[in-house]
Structure 1
Amino acid sequence: MLKRTKQLVLLLAFLIYSGADAQQKRSLTHADYDGWESLGGEKITKDGKWVGYSISPQDGDARAEILPFNDPSKKTIIHRAQGWDFTPDDSFAVGKIVPQKDSVRVLKLKETKKDDMPSDSLFIFNLKAGEIEKMANVKSFAIPQEAGSWVAIHFEKEKPAKKDEADSTAKAEKPKKTDGTKLLVRTLNGEKSYEFDRVKSYSFSKEGEFLQYVLAEEDTLDNAAIHLLDLKTGESQTVHEGNTDYTRVTFSPKATYLTFISTNDSSKAEKPYYQLYLTKTDEVALEELVNKDSQGILENGRLSSDAGIRFSEEEDRIFFGVAEDYVDYAYESDTTILDEERVSLDIWGWQDAEIQPMQLKNKSREENRSYTATMDLATRKITQLEDREVNNIILENKIERDFALVWTDAPYRRNYSWDIQIGRDVYMIDFATGEKTLVEKSLPGYPSLSPEGKYITWYANKDSTWVAYDIAQKNKINLTEGLDVVFYDELHDSPSLPGSYSTAGWLENDEAILINDRYDIWKIDPRNPSQAVNITQGEGRANSIEFRRLTLDREEEFIDPKDPLYLTAFNEVTKQSGLYRSSINAQNAPKQILMSDHRYFGFNKAKDSDEITVRRSTYQENPDLHLGDLTLKNLRKVSNLNPQQADVKWGSVELVSYLANDGTPLQGLLFKPENFDENKKYPMMVYFYERNSNGLHNYRAPAPSASTINIPYFVSNDYLVFVPDIKYDLGLPGPSAYNCIIPGVQSLVARGFVDADNMAIQGQSWGGYQVAYLITQTNMFKAAGAGAPVVNMTSAYGGIRWGTGMSRMFQYEQTQSRIGGTLWEKPVYYLENSPLFFMDRVKTPVLIMHNDADGSVPWYQGIEMFMALKRLNQPAWLLQYNGEDHNLRQRKNRKDLSVRLSQFFDHYLKGAPAPLWMTEGLPAVEKGKTLKYELED
């Protein structure tokens, strides 16, 4: 009895302590954002013995954490590490160390000159010895891509020594003018090293056999030059010198050749002409391959310095770019005209393939456009592959065949402003002859070539089928027509043609292709598509589980059918995720390895061993890095993001189900405050944008808002947040939002814990439109926030998306706005779905954000909404961040918006005092002088 009494006392003490501890937790504040961390750049050595990752606060200094896979306790932390990587021999980690951010800020406040600001350093971490070597004043570094144990370190210019006060009369030596600085090339262990001065650029061959470096000119006394360092012998040879520029320096895949583009025209020349040079690496014997007079290149063309150089894998071909020759326009070159006298205008022509804003947006790209050509290195014959009519070639990562695919959408381009699903004419082009063979006119989507080059495949969205083109037989094969499932996006609900669920790769020798449906994976032999096999045995569709093949070898060219088949799995109903195992020729259903109430992502396997890294999260659990193998047993967490979260009221999330007004089953996410009490009533924020319920287990970091409410912040401050899914009916975007959002809200109100008198809605862009529409249909919300809302579809229809230069017509006819026709075909739909025409019904105070550099939604839409409400004498505020885009980019503005959003909703839903910016406004004469966050007395 005494023992039991002691147990009860201990339990009571524990409960009291736990309750007290819970009470000590605090709510999130806007000051928490800067220190909140995220993880990225996770890496694992090829042998699987070492892993590393970077952890970065939102504002502050990052760090790298590097540790042995089997002994995470021996973690090495390198503060302010950036751009680091493991070396190809798995022996070192190399990267930069950047200056401390606070120190740089202090120096900027002191208006320190750029030359006096601190520079980056370099670290070389010897993994086995555990020793770190550092070097200061580093501009850049490089290590070979695939082999070798070398590092090249490019230093900043040496800062001139400050004159000693005692030697103030001494005349300082004038520094020499050059863009080059010192380059140190050394083995990682430091046993061998080479130094070169006035280096401008450099790079290793892929396997680390050679390093090329370009010397910059120096006071016109020393010429620019390109050199080749043989890392086996230590010999450095001059490849070429005396020209003014050397660029696009490239090694061939096996380092047999070195090629570059160069010119001897003056560095001040506005229109320099370039030549392409080639040499062998084992014997420097330079040859000029291409110049503007070369036979075979585009008529009136010249070698382009803007295009990269590539080789075929067998090194028998080189690929380069040819540009239009320079044109001398009489008006442009007329020196008798003053700049102030020159005409500046844009002419919009109805016959133009692209409208003027789009042309201007793409002007730089078009001015630098180049057309791919190739040279046979055995015969030196040049073949022009792209030209002015057909100018989109698809060169694979490894060029292993004697042909490629090339396409043009020129015949259909004029329609692009209102039809973003235009087709493209696709051809095969022969590298030797340049002959083009038509594959398909107006082909939808983007075609791809099978690994062995036997087939071309694409998704034909007009027919909702997958197609293969047999290159040898020159015939099309419908791969999926006879199957009893669909391969189009089953949840597609816009007027455009639905997309597909993509493919999962080809088997060896092009024997079959793997194609995804919504849930399962099919193996289809193009020679016999009627015998397609569902390799996941229909388990996905039967259990609402989306199976997708997990690619573990990033350099994979084809799928070996003998290898195990690993499948990521996501349950659409429960939102569980995990991993299954099967095989290409399995006779049984996939075997579950793990399914849990988490999100698993970022699988990363060591190249030469079975070790993996993976990230796992829930709303409450940070997406930390875990170590293990593909059994996923005993996963070990090695990072520890945001330990401060334990001191914060965080809350939870649950999946809710309800019916839309038309009876459609829907899901949504309900975020609840910590220590939620169903007998209390909570104010509730409602946020929406398309469908979000699949993100149940996503971690959401506290962060300043780019446009929408930060869910953790509001939940931590004792709000409920509801995020409902929305299903759309074509032509009825506004009523569809009402049909899905309002019954979801009502279903939660009926549960008794929502304060129905204190609810608000907030959304951005498409969500902002829905906010604007809903407040014309109901007064159930006490406040609303609408970011970049379209309120007048009739005026927005004719507007421009300035970010791309495109007309907005496609938005309404084919995509998100979902009207499904032109303004003159469906004028009533445009009017009835436009909130502006019903603003007189609005009784809800509104906070609008619409910025004057919005590249997606014309910012006059926000003005139209604000002016209507102002005219109607309804409370409304418009936040216009100067020079900002659709979503805020500058952190200072994001922080500002976060404060104003919380103040606005706290005032209306919690009865908090209004801030002065709401009650007094911010007069133009006070702009930049005060923020008016202060609350009214």
Structure 2
Amino acid sequence: MITKQSLSVLLILFLICQSGFAQQKRSLTHADYDGWESLSSEKITKNGQFVGYQISTQDGDGRLEIFPFKNPAQKTIIPRASGFSFTPDDAYAVGKIAAQKDSVRVLKLQKKKPDDLPKDSLFIMNLASGKVEKLPRVKSFATPIEKGSWIAIHFEKDLPKKPDLADTTKKAEKPKKTDGTKLLVRTLDGSRFWEFERVKSFGFAPNGDFLQYILAEEDTLDNAALYVLNLSTGESKLVHEKMTTYSNLTFSPKSKFLSFIATDDSLKAKKPVHSLHVYNVSGGTFSHKIEKSTPGIMDGGRVSPDGSIRFSEDESRMFFGVAQDYVDYAYANDTTILDEERVSLDIWGWQDAEIQPMQLVNRSSEEKKTFTAVLETGSGKVIQLATPELDNVNLENKITKDIALAWTDDPYRRAYSWDIQIGRDLYWIELKSGAKTLIEKNASGSPRLSPEGKYAYWYDSRDSAWVAFDIQSKSRINLTKALPVPFFEELHDSPSLPGSYGSEGWLAGEAAILINDRFDIWKIDPKNPSAAVNLTLGEGRKKQITFRRERLRADETFIDPKEPLILSAFNEVNKDNGFFTTSFDGKTAPKQLILSPHRYTGLTKAKESNQVLVRRSTYVENADLYLSDLTFKSLNKASNLNPQQAGIKWGSVELISYLANDGTPLQGLLFKPEGFDASKKYPMMVYFYERNSETLHNYRAPAPSRSTINIPFFVSNDYLVFVPDIKYDLGLPGPSAYNCIIPGVQAVIAKGGVDTENMAIQGQSWGGYQVAYLITRTNMFKAAGAGAPVVNMTSAYGGIRWQTGMSRMFQYEQTQSRIGGTLWEKPLYYMENSPLFTMDRVETPVLIMHNDADGSVPWYQGIEMFMALKRLNKPAWLLQYNGEDHNLVQRKNAKDLSIRLSQFFDHYLKGAPAPLWMTEGLPAVEKGKTLKYELGN
């Protein structure tokens, strides 16, 4: 018999058990990575009524979610959908649906041919009804950019038909050879459609009036052809035929012209000759044909298929690329020489503008280099704008002006191996005549044209000032010289010239340009720069808040002062983030709309309404999507990423303030395990790379390591992780790291909870160098991980960054390595900052990763460190992932590194058994046969 008393006891026991179950959370494992979700491709219709976004897993199938802005709960979920867009009429959403990844993997294990694998599908969703239509085996699709309710769908090749075994009289037809497939062009509602066979490529006019498509050749017939479909009448008209290739098809903005490049030379021809054709779409006739012999083309030039074709907005000009003609090399054309007899070598000449490795990296782009020319579509006149002597012409996104900017750095290029801030000669070009006028010789900066073309403007890093050049008066204007604040990067601490904080654009009519200082925004009239107005009234500098203008229109060319001025805001002290608003007159202080301990990113406004999308995150909260308007009075959460996180020990992050050894105030991030108790002792990892405190509210997803420790993984597994900021003194990168990192660690220790007998450091690249340096100066860390470390600056100085082909000299003289001089000018600085020369002091076991295809840090640096430690009989392991670059690219290798990092640090900081790869190594004869993750006794 159950009494009231026993019932009460049972109830209490039940509640205790329930409470225990509710509190049971597990630590992250390496198996959690694949299913972890992230959000991307968020979009809102122009009218603001519908929203969509893609949710992807790290390795697996994702999904697309689409819903009404006013009702986020009413979601349509399309599994495995991606690459979606809303149509210009705001009536449909379209996108691809990928084949199920597990199914494809199973078939690949069965060695199925690519043609036998499942193909992508297409979905078309009616936003009003929610109905989703799906079409199988889709190669690609397109919709018009600006208007129209059309879609073009290009299908995969048809599957081979199985023979009819019952019909023995019918002989199977041999399929004709062509790389073209079926194209379906239809209204999105399916009420009108056309089908075309053996289509190779296609494209809509921006305004949706026409569609061009190319028919591929069939068998050996010379029957390739170009057609234009009039979408209003349904008439398909032959434009051109019987050429080998058609490429670079481009409609003019209002569909008056269709231009293309064609050749009738064989695809195997080494020197194909191309011609450029301009077709009048409405008239059905050809307006112009441009060839190498066309007057106006530069001497020794030819029409290039590697250059882009663009039209001015009024369609009066067409811009295209001209390449230098092919050169006949007797040696290359000598057919009496066998391939094995040909000499292969690189000659490094001291007089070369670029060193050989850089030339080899850039070889393909140099072979395809084009020089901009312009066609006057009315008169047919061709004007060569760019030339080998002045090879860069900058055309705006929308070409509306009669001038363009041009520049060359050829006179200064030879110094680029050690001086990455070389100058350039700036010009402006009259598009009507091609006349060139010098703006400035050896200028420092990257100029742009103001919206109406009255000014060229740029940041001059040598003067630490923004400047403008008045095109009409040909006068140079210093825009910021008279202002009472600096416009250079105030925290810049390398030997290079400091950069700027950027500009925000021009007001309508070019009445003023908006330029940022570190905190505030200035409105500067180039006609009277000294009368500049601080739009944020200095509130940013006063309160240590960085204000920046949010660009609410993707196609913006100028700033409309009638539109709202929305500012992002970031508090440099406590890292709060949010949005403010203010006026363009600079008479009212910025008004706070929202400011909170979060990170806000990706603000997107509907084109025709005030609805906005924004992502918000903290270390604990995923970067989910929120819905609001420009008042930000309410934020409605739309997505719900990673619900599984609720059952995982996650932890928290705290901002730590401390003083460097030289008294400089610094900050760092301390990540603490869930349920952190300062009376207990936790092992601590210390990771660093430049400055990171501004990332306080960043969400950090569990993911395989490309090079550095995954912070959530270690925190979830009961480690403290500390990330200090570093401030550098020129010439002293190593001592600067010690000066900032060690007192930061001591400040964390003073707060309690750190097991000082079990601390480790880990870093990659520049961080890997600092790890190597620190373990020669202190034994306070029980283990260390150094990824791609430079340990010998004297040998690294003369090395190559193979990814770009550049000499590494610039890095030591001007940028991150911060020596500030050549090896022969400052030999002692190079030696004293190189940990290799003091490796005999190391008492810390080290795990090094340095890959044999590293394009940034020479692989031999990791070898030098490992061999020194091996020679000194110090515990060290070198992980070398074959064919991998500076940071791991292949996910399989990242997963492997993650396991080895955690095993290494668990062994030294938690006393876990060492894995066999640490105790036995991995002999070459066992390579690829075992991974040796197994733990020893």
Q: Normalization by structure 1: what TM-score?
A: 0.98
Structure 1 residues 21 and 347: alpha-carbon distance in aligned structure 2, compared to 1, 3 A threshold: same
Aligned partner of residue 314 in structure 2, secondary structure: coil
Q: Residue 500 of structure 1 aligns with which residue? A: 500
Matches within 5 A, 1:323-722: 323-722=323-722
Aligned residue type for 1:800:
I
Aligned partner of residue 743 in structure 1, secondary structure: helix
Name the stretch that deviates more: 798-807 or 245-254. 245-254
CA drift at 1:754? 0.3
C-alpha offsets along residues 631-670 of structure 1, whole Å, 9 cap, x if unaligned? 1122111111000000000000000001000010100000
Q: Residue 56 of structure 1 aligns with which residue? A: 56
Name the stretch that deviates more: 686-695 or 265-274. 265-274
Q: Residue 180 of structure 1 aligns with which residue? A: 180
Q: Residue 138 of structure 2 aligns with which residue? A: 138
Q: Residue 127 of structure 1 aligns with which residue? A: 127
Structure 1 residues 132 and 237: alpha-carbon distance in aligned structure 2, compared to 1, 3 A threshold: same
Aligned partner of residue 416 in structure 1, secondary structure: helix
Aligned residue type for 2:235:
E
* Residues 423, 443 of structure 1: 8 Å contact kept: yes
Aligned residue type for 2:714:
F
C-alpha separation in 2, matches of 1:933 and 1:670:
30
* Residues 408, 426 of structure 1: 8 Å contact kept: yes
Name the stretch that deviates more: 893-902 or 299-308. 299-308
Aligned residue type for 1:897:
L
Structure 1 residues 77 and 269: alpha-carbon distance in aligned structure 2, compared to 1, 3 A threshold: same
Structure 1 residues 663 and 160: alpha-carbon distance in aligned structure 2, compared to 1, 3 A threshold: same
Q: Residue 30 of structure 1 aligns with which residue? A: 30
Structure 1 residues 742 and 86: alpha-carbon distance in aligned structure 2, compared to 1, 3 A threshold: same
Aligned residue type for 2:719:
Y
Aligned residue type for 2:480:
T
C-alpha separation in 1, matches of 2:378 and 2:70:
52
Q: Does 1:737 align with 2:737?
A: yes
Aligned partner of residue 285 in structure 2, secondary structure: coil
CA drift at 1:62? 1.4
C-alpha separation in 2, matches of 1:458 and 1:12:
73
C-alpha separation in 2, matches of 1:732 and 1:164:
80
C-alpha separation in 2, matches of 1:708 and 1:28:
17
C-alpha separation in 1, matches of 2:495 and 2:693:
23
Runs of 4+ off more than 6 Å: 8-15
C-alpha offsets along residues 381-415 of structure 1, whole Å, 9 cap, x if unaligned? 11100111111110001111111001000000000
C-alpha offsets along residues 658-699 of structure 1, whole Å, 9 cap, x if unaligned? 100001010000000001111100000000000000000000
Structure 1 residues 678 and 378: alpha-carbon distance in aligned structure 2, compared to 1, 3 A threshold: same
C-alpha separation in 2, matches of 1:15 and 1:562:
61
C-alpha offsets along residues 552-596 of structure 1, whole Å, 9 cap, x if unaligned? 011111112222211000000010000001011141210111110
Q: Residue 920 of structure 1 aligns with which residue? A: 920
CA drift at 1:21? 3.8
C-alpha separation in 2, matches of 1:294 and 1:655:
67
Name the stretch that deviates more: 266-275 or 605-614. 266-275
Matches within 5 A, 1:703-852: 703-852=703-852
Q: Residue 237 of structure 2 aligns with which residue? A: 237
C-alpha offsets along residues 797-827 of structure 1, whole Å, 9 cap, x if unaligned? 0000000000000000000000000000000
C-alpha separation in 1, matches of 2:743 and 2:620:
28
C-alpha offsets along residues 126-174 of structure 1, whole Å, 9 cap, x if unaligned? 1111111111111100000010000000011111112355568964321
Q: Residue 209 of structure 1 aligns with which residue? A: 209
Aligned partner of residue 894 in structure 1, secondary structure: helix
Name the stretch that deviates more: 495-504 or 631-640. 631-640
Name the stretch that deviates more: 25-34 or 124-133. 124-133
C-alpha separation in 2, matches of 1:847 and 1:11:
53
C-alpha separation in 2, matches of 1:492 and 1:276:
49
Aligned partner of residue 387 in structure 2, secondary structure: coil
C-alpha separation in 1, matches of 2:618 and 2:777:
36
C-alpha separation in 1, matches of 2:28 and 2:332:
60
CA drift at 1:88? 0.3
Aligned partner of residue 653 in structure 1, secondary structure: strand
Q: Residue 884 of structure 2 aligns with which residue? A: 884
C-alpha separation in 1, matches of 2:283 and 2:530:
57
Name the stretch that deviates more: 163-172 or 381-390. 163-172
Aligned residue type for 1:127:
L
Name the stretch that deviates more: 160-169 or 524-533. 160-169
Q: Residue 298 of structure 2 aligns with which residue? A: 298
* Residues 412, 422 of structure 1: 8 Å contact kept: yes
Aligned residue type for 1:74:
Q
C-alpha separation in 1, matches of 2:9 and 2:633:
38
Aligned partner of residue 197 in structure 1, secondary structure: strand
Structure 1 residues 239 and 17: alpha-carbon distance in aligned structure 2, compared to 1, 3 A threshold: same
C-alpha separation in 1, matches of 2:168 and 2:657:
81
* Residues 614, 625 of structure 1: 8 Å contact kept: yes
C-alpha separation in 1, matches of 2:17 and 2:258:
71
CA drift at 1:343? 0.2
Q: Residue 152 of structure 1 aligns with which residue? A: 152
Aligned residue type for 1:577:
N
Aligned partner of residue 74 in structure 1, secondary structure: coil
C-alpha separation in 2, matches of 1:66 and 1:748:
46
Aligned residue type for 1:175:
P
C-alpha offsets along residues 209-235 of structure 1, whole Å, 9 cap, x if unaligned? 000111111113361111011011111
CA drift at 1:477? 0.6
C-alpha offsets along residues 723-778 of structure 1, whole Å, 9 cap, x if unaligned? 00000000000000000000010111122210000000000000000000000000
C-alpha offsets along residues 228-265 of structure 1, whole Å, 9 cap, x if unaligned? 11011111110111111111111000111111111122
C-alpha offsets along residues 89-121 of structure 1, whole Å, 9 cap, x if unaligned? 000001111100000000000000111111111
* Residues 321, 372 of structure 2: 8 Å contact kept: yes
C-alpha separation in 1, matches of 2:114 and 2:150:
31
Aligned residue type for 2:225:
A
* Residues 561, 585 of structure 1: 8 Å contact kept: no
C-alpha separation in 1, matches of 2:478 and 2:811:
31
The two structures, once aligned, show a CA RMSD in angstroms of 1.5
Q: Does 1:265 align with 2:261?
A: no
C-alpha separation in 1, matches of 2:737 and 2:752:
24
C-alpha separation in 2, matches of 1:750 and 1:481:
46
C-alpha separation in 2, matches of 1:161 and 1:87:
35
Aligned residue type for 1:115:
D
C-alpha separation in 1, matches of 2:833 and 2:515:
38
* Residues 505, 558 of structure 1: 8 Å contact kept: yes
C-alpha separation in 1, matches of 2:398 and 2:671:
48
C-alpha separation in 2, matches of 1:614 and 1:248:
37
CA drift at 1:894? 0.1
* Residues 465, 481 of structure 1: 8 Å contact kept: yes
Structure 1 residues 828 and 167: alpha-carbon distance in aligned structure 2, compared to 1, 3 A threshold: farther
Aligned residues: 931
Aligned residue type for 2:46:
K
C-alpha separation in 2, matches of 1:530 and 1:30:
59
Aligned residue type for 2:898:
S
* Residues 275, 288 of structure 1: 8 Å contact kept: no
Name the stretch that deviates more: 914-923 or 125-134. 125-134
Aligned residue type for 1:931:
L
Aligned residue type for 1:52:
G
Aligned residue type for 2:269:
A
Structure 1 residues 371 and 836: alpha-carbon distance in aligned structure 2, compared to 1, 3 A threshold: same
C-alpha separation in 2, matches of 1:13 and 1:126:
54
Structure 2: gaps (5+ residues)? none
Aligned partner of residue 417 in structure 2, secondary structure: coil
Aligned partner of residue 323 in structure 1, secondary structure: strand
CA drift at 1:10? 14
Name the stretch that deviates more: 725-734 or 451-460. 451-460
Structure 1: gaps (5+ residues)? none
C-alpha separation in 2, matches of 1:482 and 1:21:
67
